[in-house]
Amino acid sequence: MNNRGLPNLEYLLQGSILESAAEHLMHRLKGLCDNVDTSPEAFHDMEVCMSLHQPNSNQPLLLRVRRALGRDAPFQIRYLGQPEVDQRRPTLVRSCIDCACTDSIMEFLTEMGFRIEFEYIAKGYMFRKGRMKITVSKLIKIVPGKQQDMANEPISQSYIVELSVVAPTGQENVGEEMRLFAEQLKPLVQLEKIDYKRLGSMP
């Protein structure tokens, strides 16, 4: 949260790229992003979406819990508000709150009445360009007993590409900055603002 106690805003563009073209995109990103002399930051995380159905509301409260696999790091919990798809803005915008937490968070949320909606493993690479974060990752379906094994089934053969910025309210120039960066990734990947209300699901 920012200093005034208000949620930050996440500005987001998303796309996908076939596995056969992922290496070309990674090469492009290495040339465009910061720290070109070092390798991008690898990540291997498990994410669980928890929901709590609230009285007098058609929308459940959704929280995301993410933890790193294979390394010692705090669990992360994230709240995401309903996305705003404004045709005048170049990106999707949604409120967000991020917080580090202990490894007992899943048990705590379950005792509060939260239930697991879905879970998956995300494995890939993260790049940074100023305040922008770019991730290229493959989503992997969790098979019971094989959470950390790459033998788990990929949800698709494509990589998910996300360009995002988390910033305080009022920084409308963020979207234009992201649009210009996304233009430099064409035609390898087309990053768009995806209206999940129309698709009937959330990312």
Domain ranges of the chain: 9-198
d(CA 156, CA 139): 7
pLDDT of res. 169:
83
Question: 3-class SS at 198?
Answer: helix
Name the residue among 161, 113, 123 with its Cα closest to residue 17: 161
pLDDT band at 107 (very low <50, low <70, confident <90, very high): very high
pLDDT of res. 44:
95
pLDDT of res. 186:
95
Q: Tokens standing for 166?
A: 């988390």
CA 12 and chain centroid, separation? 9
pLDDT band at 144 (very low <50, low <70, confident <90, very high): low
**pTM metric for this prediction:** 0.86
Q: Does domain 9-198 have CATH number 2.40.320.10?
A: yes
pLDDT band at 79 (very low <50, low <70, confident <90, very high): very high
- Which residue in this structure is represented by tokens 């995300």? 122
d(CA 166, CA 157): 28
pLDDT of res. 203:
54
Query: Is the model's pLDDT at 106 over the cut of 80?
Result: yes
- Residues 65/75, Cβ–Cβ less than 8 Å: yes
Instruction: List Cβ neighbours of 191 (8 Å cut-off, separation of 6 or more).
Output: 13, 14, 15, 161, 163, 182, 185
Question: Alpha helices, DSSP H only, in the chain?
Answer: 19-32, 105-111, 173-183, 196-199
